[in-house]
Amino acid sequence: MKRWMRQWGALVGIASAMGLGGMASAEPLPAVVVRSVPTLKKVVALTFDDGPTRKWTPEILGVLKRNHVKATFFIVGSQVLRYPQYLQEEIKDGMDIGSHGARHVTLRGKSAEVVEREVKDNQVLLESLGAKKPTLYRLPGGNSDKVALTVLGKLGYTVIGWSVDPRDWRHRYSADQMTTIVMKHVEPGAIVIFHDGPNSSKATVDAVSKIIPELKREGYRLVTVQQLVKGLARPKNRLGPAGPSR
């Protein structure tokens, strides 16, 4: 019963954040943090942080396109300034674009002014390069506090965490090992975190190449985070396991 109530609370919170909760609150609410989506449908979202980069972003995009998969990229402003062409390729290919901050700053312990500048600077930059106003934010390191979440909520963001993490940026595991980790922990509504930034590697590209067919064989449909969250907000959606949280 308690677990069901927690899942229902997540459902109501996200619906409210998306403007589906009826009467608006007079005060801005803290941003909702979504690590996975409670659903019985076999859907999963692949996400990529820290890019774009000249080396890894095109390779990841190539894998996604060959497999007819849409994914979500959380863009760092300092990186997209160097390689704006890859953001535009992601947009052209129908990928989901979220924000990872202008300078990849950890928001925990920062003033409201610093948080707002980090978030808004990247928003303005992404829009200037042709992206829609981002509404999804991936916290560097997954770290935040009440101040950061309040600012992000005021600016209209949903914070996207993850439920499956093969830690590809540490270069600890081979592609086969990362595939095993993902397939062991994936469940309906999971959000998987990878990286296409400077700390990515060929192992990440190879792991994604292996994981997509494996997920499809298991009956999973790969969707963007926007699609995953919108599915949660639909009242007709059935509640299921929320998955582990971080």
Annotated active-site positions, please? Answer: 49, 195
CA-wise closest residue to 32 among 139, 167, 186:
139
Q: Which amino acid type is present at position 182?
A: V
The length of the chain is 246
Question: How many angstroms separate the CA atoms of 199 and 188, rounded?
Answer: 28
Residue 174 neighbours by CB distance under 10 Å: 12
Question: How many angstroms separate the CA atoms of 222 and 57, rounded?
Answer: 19
CA-wise closest residue to 193 among 139, 146, 144:
139
Strands 136-137 and 158-160: parallel
Question: How many angstroms separate the CA atoms of 24 and 45, rounded?
Answer: 29
CA distances from 34 to 2, 137, 155, 171 (A): 18, 10, 17, 26
CA distances from 26 to 10, 15, 17, 202 (A): 20, 17, 13, 49
